[in-house]
Amino acid sequence: MPFFVVKLAGKTTPAMTQSVRISSVDIMRGLTLLLMLFVNDLNMRVAPSWLGHTKADFDGMGLADWVFPGFLFIVGMAIPFALSNRLKKGDSMGKISIHIIIRTLSLLIIGVLMLNTGRVTAELTGISKDLWALLMYVSVFVVWNDYPEKTGRYLKSGLRAVGALALLMLAIKFRSGQPDNPGWMITGWWGILGLIGWGYLVGAFTWLLLRDSLLKVLLVTFFFFLLNILSGLHLLGFLDPVKPALGILLEGNVPFIVLTGVLAGVMLRKQTSSESGRIIIVFTVIGILSIITGLILRNWFIISKIYATPSWGMICNGISFLVFILIYWLADVRNMRNWATFVRPAGQYSLTTYLAPDILYHAIWMSGIPILIYKQSAEPLVAVVGSIIWALLMVGVTAVLARINIRLRL
């Protein structure tokens, strides 16, 4: 995801619609990415259960159950700033719409490819699961890398064509299942990036069409929240024929969380430079009320990430409001930003941060060398500290890759 920047002309600016960075947006994106790397790496057979995901039927949530919706929230929050900047630069509605669609399709494609890496049957595909995944991730970097301006147009196009051809060949070779019943790729739940893609699609077009109208954005947000409730009550069975393609939208949960972030972004853009105190109060109240609402909904829906229940979504949104406003108070009101320097690469190059570790994982697994020795420990402290170090190292790897012009941009 790009580095979203906001402009502010000065203390007399009526609203945040012009160019100072809202540092808290970048910092929260970086922190959620860091936490995502951490919880994804944890050996949950050893680590404390509260750090991981809860089981589908368990009424509750762990740290890992908030991390992804926290990222969805900040994706939505950045949309009003990013798209308004495009409009200021003179981009037409049509050009921005094409940009939104291309970004969405890119996220869906990468998400589905990632989802299927664990389904490769080596005997049917002709190459090992790890090699297929490794080649896929490298090809993704070749296609979607943000090449420096000095790279010639023909060289850039040629590299992307080679990467796209490699992805096509890998897709053609892909096989899953058994010899007597082989299968191909599935879209399934679209993978993490696919979910982000669907949420981004709804959030981006909602803001593009409605702009900074709080009431209209709120109504769209409530519509998807209502869809989430109806889906949870199993009242949308008549839409089953289109669920294989549009299930994430019909379920409502992912768009609802992203749109809540869009709503927060609109509110932040509307505040004047002297109203930081008011936005802190408003976001705090909304956060607390969201958590209370989620707990009330618990009477009808368990708190479950796997089932994407409205109670879980509402509680996660409440946590996101409170986490963001704390970061905002520190970084943008008190100007205390140095503490977050270590997450800056993750906030700036979040897609690179998310995908680069998988290349290393598959390379390590393919080599057979037990490099990740902390994962073999039976000591919870060793497992947790090892995953913390791994997550921090991956952010460092992202910074190094950016310096050598390897950074993904959709």
Q: Does residue 17 lie within any of the structural domains?
A: no
pLDDT at res. 144? 97
Q: Does residue 16 lie within any of the structural domains?
A: no
How confident is the model over 236-264, as a mean pLDDT?
Answer: 95
The 10s digit of each residue's pLDDT in 70-114 is: 999 999 999 999 999 999 999 999 999 999 999 999 999 999 999
The number of domains in the chain is: 1
Measured CA to CA, the distance from residue 98 to residue 102 in angstroms comes to 6
The 10s digit of each residue's pLDDT in 41-78 is: 999 999 999 999 999 999 999 999 999 999 999 999 99
Q: Does residue 32 lie within any of the structural domains?
A: yes
Res. 21 pLDDT band, cuts 50 70 90? low
Q: Does residue 5 lie within any of the structural domains?
A: no
Q: Does residue 253 lie within any of the structural domains?
A: yes
Half-sphere exposure at residue 139, Cβ-oriented, CA atoms within 13 angstroms: 21
The 10s digit of each residue's pLDDT in 339-350 is: 999 999 999 999
φ, ψ of residue 57 to 5 degrees: the values are -90, 0
pLDDT at res. 12? 34
φ, ψ of residue 331 to 5 degrees: the values are -85, -40
How confident is the model over 390-397, as a mean pLDDT?
Answer: 96
Check if the beta carbon of residue 273 is closer than 8 Å to that of residue 247. no
Q: Does residue 18 lie within any of the structural domains?
A: no
Half-sphere exposure at residue 331, Cβ-oriented, CA atoms within 13 angstroms: 21
How confident is the model over 386-397, as a mean pLDDT?
Answer: 96
Q: Is the pLDDT of residue 9 over 50?
A: no
Res. 22 pLDDT band, cuts 50 70 90? confident
**Nearest alpha carbon to residue 301 among 239, 213, 356, 230:** 230
Domain range for 372 is 23-403
Longest dimension (CA), the chain: 71
Q: Is the pLDDT of residue 18 over 70?
A: no
Q: Does residue 258 lie within any of the structural domains?
A: yes
Q: Does residue 255 lie within any of the structural domains?
A: yes
